[in-house]
Amino acid sequence: MSDLTKPVLTAIGVISGTSMDGIDVSVVESDGREELRFGPGASYPYPAQTRSDLQALIAEPERALDDPLAELEVAVTGAHLDAVRRFIAEQGLDPKEIDLVGLHGQTVYHRPDLRFTRQLIDGPAVARALGIPTIDRFRHADIAAGGEGAPLAPLYHRALAHGLEQPLMVLNLGGVGNITYIDGETVIAFDTGPASAILDDFMLRRLGKPFDADGALAASGRVHEELVSAFMANPFFDRPAPKSLDRNDFHRRAKVVEALSDADGAATLAAFTVESVVAALRHVPKQPKRWLVTGGGRLNQHFMTRFRERLGVPVETVESAGWAGDVIEAQTFGYLAIRSLKGLPLSLPGTTGVPAPLSGGRLNLPKD
Ligand X SMILES: Nc1ncnc2c1ncn2[C@@H]1O[C@H](COP(=O)(O)OP(=O)(O)OP(=O)(O)O)[C@@H](O)[C@H]1O
| Residues within the interface to ligand AH0 (CB under 6 A) | 17-18, 107, 110, 117, 150-153, 172, 174-176, 178, 191, 244, 329, 332
Name residues whose C-beta falls within 8 Å of residue 255's C-beta, 6 or more positions apart in sequence. none
Under the binding rule (CB under 6 A), the answer on residue 211 touching ligand X is yes
Q: Is 175 annotated as a binding residue?
A: no
With CB under 6 A as the contact rule, the residue among 134, 196, 268, 273 that binds ligand X is 196
What is the nearest approach in angstroms of ligand AH0 to the Cβ of residue 18? 5
Residues 6+ apart with CB under 8 A from 173: 195, 196, 273, 293, 294, 295, 296, 297, 298, 300, 303
Least distance from ligand X to the Cβ atom of residue 293, Å:
10
Q: How far apart are CA 221 and CA 272, in angstroms?
A: 14
Question: What DSSP assignment string belongs to 3-51?
Answer: -TTSSSEEEEEEEE-TT-S-EEEEEEEE-SSS-EEEEEEEEEPPPHHHH
DSSP string across 314-345: -EEEGGGGT--TTTHHHHHHHHHHHHHHTT--
**Interface pick for ligand X out of 297, 334, 350, 353 (rule CB under 6 A):** 297
Residue 340 binds which of ligand AH0, ligand X, none (CB < 5-8 A, kind-dependent): none
Is 31 annotated to bind a ligand? Reply is no
Q: How many residues belong to the site for ligand X (CB under 6 A)? A: 21
**Cβ atoms 142, 336 nearer than 8 A:** no
Q: Does 299 help bind ligand X (rule: CB under 6 A)?
A: yes
- Terminus-to-terminus CA distance in the chain, angstroms? 13
Q: Which one, of 53, 66, 104, lies nearest residue 83 by Cα?
A: 104
Mask of contacts with ligand X, 303-332, x by CB under 6 A? --------------------------x---
**Least distance in Å: CB of 285 to ligand X?**
25
Rounded CA gap, 274 and 272, in Å?
Answer: 6
Stretch that binds ligand X, among 46-54, 77-85, 172-180, 359-367 (CB under 6 A): 172-180
Q: Is 21 annotated among the ligand-binding residues?
A: yes
Partner interacting with residue 110 (select from ligand AH0, ligand X, none; CB below 5-8 Å by kind): ligand AH0
154 binds ligand X, rule: CB under 6 A:
no
| Residue 243 interface partner, choices ligand X, ligand AH0, none, CB cut-off 5-8 Å depending on type | none
DSSP per position, 72-108: HHHHHHHHHHHHHHHHHHHTT--GGG--EEEEEEEEE
- Nearest alpha-carbon partner for 58 in 255, 253, 178, 201: 201
Question: Should residue 172 be labelled a site residue for ligand X when binding is judged by CB under 6 A?
Answer: yes
CB of 6 to ligand X, least distance (A): 31
Look at residue 191 and give the partner it binds from ligand X, ligand AH0, none, a contact being a CB closer than 5 to 8 Å depending on partner kind: ligand AH0
Q: Would you list which residues are annotated within the binding site for ATP?
A: 17-24
**Which residues are at the interface with ligand X (CB under 6 A)?**
17-19, 21, 172, 174-176, 196, 200, 211-215, 295-297, 299-300, 329
